[in-house]
Each structure stands twice: as C-alpha cells, then as structure tokens.
Structure 1
Amino acid sequence: MKDIAKIFAYLVAVIVLGALLAPPLYWGAQWLIGHGVLTSLAAFKFQKYFDRACMIAALALLWPTVKSLQVKGWRDLGLEPDARWGRHLVIGFVIAALAVEGHGHRLHSV
C-alpha cells in the first residue's frame, strides 16, 4: 500500500473510531451527571465528546500508522535539527502571549 493511501486510511479510521467512541463517552458522562458526579459535564454538547473521541482515536492510531510507514526517526521525515531552536521557542511564546492577551481584551470589552 502506498504511503498516501496509509495516511488517508489513518484519517478515515480516526473519524470512524471517533464516531464509535463518542456515544459511549457521552452516555457515560450523562450517567455520571445523573448520579451527581462531575455535574460540570452537563454544559458540554455531544459535539465536544465527538471532538475528544477523535483526539483519542488519533493518538491511539498514530503509533501503528507511523510503524506502517516505516518511519524510524526524524530524518526519515526530512526534518533536520533546528540550530536556532531557542530563539524560535521564545518567538513562539511571545506570539502566543500576544494572541491570548488580545483575545482577553475582546472578552472584557463585550
């Protein structure tokens, strides 16, 4: 099987497994809410459970997918170590902080 087909199969499997996991997660949360445990979960609609189920599925299926692609290291992906990783890390945090700060001001002004 070609690599692109394996990646496509991974994406389809993530959605299918997420769709299979979401209802039990939702029903489990509803059961807990009904018994007075984790009542804060009542604020979340089914879509949130589906999103989380897809994240769980993506993580669970990632390792087998990487193994099937025969990726043994970062170099197999064409990635090289970043000589300026520290500088890039600081710049990333500054950009994220500015984005969070800007978002916070909009929330308070509404």
Structure 2
Amino acid sequence: MVALPLHTRRYHARKYDQAQLLAGALAKATGRKAPVGLLTRHRETQRQVGLSEAERANNVAGAFAASSRVSGQRVLLVDDVFTTGATARAAASALLEAGSVQVEMLTLARAFSLE
C-alpha cells in the first residue's frame, strides 16, 4: 500500500498526512505494509479546489516521483478523496514509470457535483 503523499511543506503545516493515516490503518487491519517514501510529491502544487479537470491535470503533471523499490510490485494507491482522478493518474504514472506492474486506487470518498 502506498499513500498518495502531501508535499513536505503542506505536511509540516498540517502536522499529519491523512492519506498515510488511512493507508497505515488499512495496512494494520489487513496485515500488510504501508511504507512511507515509496512515492513522493517532489513538486509543490496548488490546491485543486476550484480548478477544472484540465487545470487539475496540468497542476499535478510531473509532481510525483516513485522509488525503484516499487519495481515489479503490485501497488494499492490510497487517498482520502477522489474527485476527477487527475492526482491519482499522475501518481499512478510515476509508480508505473518506476516499474510497478499494476496500480489500483482506493479512496475513502468520492467527490462530485450534482449540477
């Protein structure tokens, strides 16, 4: 399990990473591991709230880097909220580029508009 990470600056401002907390709890409940550092957000991005789907994709493009330790591994990417999928796709791309053989996404919630 790999949590979709916050940028270091945002983590220090918040003092916690909600996706890592979810991944850790899920890993503990299922007897798996959720190591920190397999995926990093090496470029700070602006908040996605209020951005269009295209703007969201541009905002997170190239923002993630994955460790070579994911090479040959099936990865469950964990996050708190799924909106357009732009962040999940950018993170999954980094994991696949680092050699993951499969990436699946699990989120606690799905955000959408009824408009």
TM-score (norm 1): 0.23
| Larger strand percent | 2
Work out which of the two has the higher radius of gyration on C-alpha atoms and give 1 or 2.
Answer: 1
Give the alignment's TM-score, normalised by structure 2: 0.22
Q: Which has the higher helix share?
A: 1
